[in-house]
Amino acid sequence: MKNIFVKALGVAAVAMTMTSCGDSFLDTDIYDAVDMEGALDNANRVELALNGTYYRFSQYYFAGNFATMTPDLASDITYWNGSNSHQNAMYQFNYLDTEYSMLYIWSYGYKVVDNAARIIQACDQQIPSATGDDKETLIRAKSEAHALRAYAMSVMTNVFGHQVKVNGQDYSSSTGVVVVNEPVVAGTQVSRSSVGDCYAQILSDLNAAIAGFNEVGDRRSLFAFGKASSLGLMARVKLMLEEFDEAYTAASEALAAKGITSLTYDPDAYKALYAGNNTNTESFLALALDEKTNWSANSCGTLFTTYCYGPSPYLVSLMGENDIRTSIWYWTDQQHKKNVPYGDAVPWFGGGKFGVPASGNCAEATNYLINAPEMFLIEAEAKLRSPNKDLDAARQALLVVAKRNLDITSTADLPSDEAGLMSFIRDERARELFQEGHRLWDLRRWNITTNLNAIGAPDIDWGISNAQLGDLLLPIPVDEINAGFGVTQNEGWQNTRPQ
């Protein structure tokens, strides 16, 4: 009988592994042996398993770094000065199918998916006979598990599948990742589903999560999925699907659920958003990282300081002189060593959104994953690109974010024509969402000509020029392919890599 195992990690954690370096698709780590049939047999154990799933989700292998940071590193808004080789293969677009960050995104994404599937299954078995607080606990835990699985699936479908929509062109029939509706028994042969089927699963999970939160409420915790964050993820997914009216509705409902109608426009108040792991009042979902639980050398704070990453000169050029978002941008006196061809020694970036925790230790800063500014930007783009186009409504939503530049005070300061407004939205997403992990997917879904692999700071210069990313495919980790459990490679992925 296959086992599920519980391990204490500050909170109890359920831990399942992927093939990659193991023997089967969704095999199991062995900790304290608890038989599968009895492991999740009450609400308390389900909650322990859910906490463990959040722990897996938040690790630097997935949402705590690789899955969140890769889309910004592999884009036009980040600069790497070459002194340390952390995730630089993605930045330079010379990755292979052995790229370690891809391996871990796959592996830990499926840990979250499989854990969530086990929690959902256990809740379905217990809810019919549960009563009182236990029933509410189980319904809420099931809702959070659905949302966690939706998030993990949305990330992995983006990373390992084709963009679902590229300026109206539909690629939903292309190959996505493995859909896991139920726990997968070790050794089972699997196959990749279509991108369209992956998105159908994501939407099904989000609808189930929202329905559960509507029934019993959510925890109102920044560190757990709830109604606002589930609606926010729904808005993001609908934007990817180019279902613009539904994207607008979901974004608006997410903001309403959180009670947010405006943002911070004072530099000191903006800094305060990033002073701790629960200080961002504009966020719907964050990771529970702090001085006691963080990824140290593998943290995002380390990545954007001692490991050489910061905003690209191009992104710097997009920022207005009085843009409060640069209040958390600074460069230290410490110099990275000279590394040809990246020019003379350059100062360390101070960390940006990961650089101002009250403790002074950038490694203790957390990731804010779903946030109100993104919702306003989704509203703006959705209103502009909808069949029911409304430029005035697009400008109103955009203004809420654009006013971070204190020189912008009204919609009269925004472009009045459709093309100009869309260009501004693209730039505003770069300005506002830097370090939140959206840029590569934005460039791919827009398929606009772009430059990549910034070199030679402070000059705006590029290693790759005039690229279009609409057909970009990243490789499935070769270890997963070689494991022989049915996962196939993205054919021709090498030919889609920008040069």
Question: Within 10 Å of residue 244's Cβ, how many Cβ atoms?
Answer: 21
pTM above 0.85, yes or no: yes
Q: Which has more confidence, 336 or 478?
A: 478
Q: Say which residues have a Cβ less than 8 Å from residue 117's Cβ, sequence separation at least 6.
A: 145, 149, 180, 181, 182, 183, 184
Cis amide bond preceding 415, omega within 30 = no
Average pLDDT over residues 172-187: 91
Q: Say which residues have a Cβ less than 8 Å from residue 192's Cβ, sequence separation at least 6.
A: 175, 176, 177, 178, 487, 488
Q: How do beta strands 450-455 and 368-371 pair? A: unpaired
Assign 3-state DSSP to the chain and report helix, strand, coil percentages, each to 5.
45, 10, 40
DSSP H/E element including 33: strand 32-35
pLDDT band with cut points at 50, 70 and 90 for residue 39: confident
Give the DSSP letter string of 160-171. HS--SEETTEE-
Q: Count each helix (H run) and each strand (E run) in the chain, helices first.
A: 17, 13
Q: How far apart are the first and last CA of the chain?
A: 50
Give the architecture (CATH level 2) of 3-268+369-496: Alpha Horseshoe (1.25)
pLDDT surpasses 90 at 184: no
Cα gap 362→309, rounded to integer Å: 13
How does pLDDT run across 277-316, given as a tens digit for each residue?
889 999 999 999 999 999 999 999 999 998 889 999 999 9
Look over the chain and give the mean of its residue pLDDT values, rounded to a whole number: 90
